C-alpha cells in the first residue's frame, strides 16, 4: 500500500494568509506581553526561594529536602524553566511560609 505525502504548511504561513497585518501585530503584542509576565513571575519565584534560603541559612540540598521534590525540579524553578501550575506555586509558597501577592497593571 502506497502512502501519500501531503504538504504541510507552517502555522505562520497559514496565519499570514488568513489574518490581516493588524491582527498579526496584535498577536505579536500579546505574545510579547505573555513572555514578559511569565519572566516576571519566574523571577519573583526565584527571588522568594533565594530569600528563603538566605533567611533560613540553608543551601540548595536543604531546600530540596524541605520541599520534597527532585533537585532537577528545583534547579528548573530557579532557572525559570519549570512550567508551574497555580497549585504547585501555592504549595511552594506555603512551604516557604510566604503568601504571594499579584499586582496587575495596564500594559
Q: How many domains does the chain have?
A: 1
Report percent pLDDT > 90 for the chain. 35
For the CA atoms of 90, 94, 99, 101, what is the dihedral angle to 10 degrees? -20
Residue 11 domain-assigned (yes or no)? no
For the CA atoms of 23, 42, 98, 63, what is the dihedral angle to 10 degrees? 160
- Collapse the DSSP code of 42 into the 3-class scheme (helix H, G, I; strand E, B; otherwise coil) and give the result: helix
Residue 36 domain-assigned (yes or no)? yes
Q: Over 90: is that where the pLDDT of 2 sits?
A: no
For the CA atoms of 81, 85, 91, 94, what is the dihedral angle to 10 degrees? 80
Per-residue pLDDT band for 19 (boundaries 50, 70, 90) equals confident
The residue range of the domain holding 40 is: 20-96
Is this structure's pTM higher than 0.85? no
Residue 3 domain-assigned (yes or no)? no
What is the chain's length? Answer: 107
Residue 40 domain-assigned (yes or no)? yes
Amino acid at each position: 500500500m502506497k502512502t501519500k505525502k501531503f504538504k504541510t504548511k507552517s502555522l505562520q504561513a497559514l496565519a499570514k494568509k488568513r489574518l490581516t497585518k493588524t491582527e498579526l501585530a496584535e498577536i505579536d503584542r500579546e505574545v510579547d506581553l505573555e513572555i514578559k509576565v511569565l519572566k516576571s513571575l519566574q523571577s519573583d519565584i526565584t527571588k522568594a526561594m533565594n530569600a528563603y534560603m538566605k533567611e533560613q541559612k540553608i543551601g540548595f540540598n536543604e531546600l530540596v529536602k524541605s520541599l520534597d521534590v527532585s533537585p532537577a525540579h528545583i534547579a528548573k524553578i530557579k532557572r525559570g524553566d519549570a512550567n508551574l501550575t497555580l497549585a504547585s506555586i501555592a504549595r511552594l509558597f506555603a512551604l516557604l511560609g510566604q503568601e504571594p501577592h499579584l499586582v496587575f497593571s495596564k500594559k
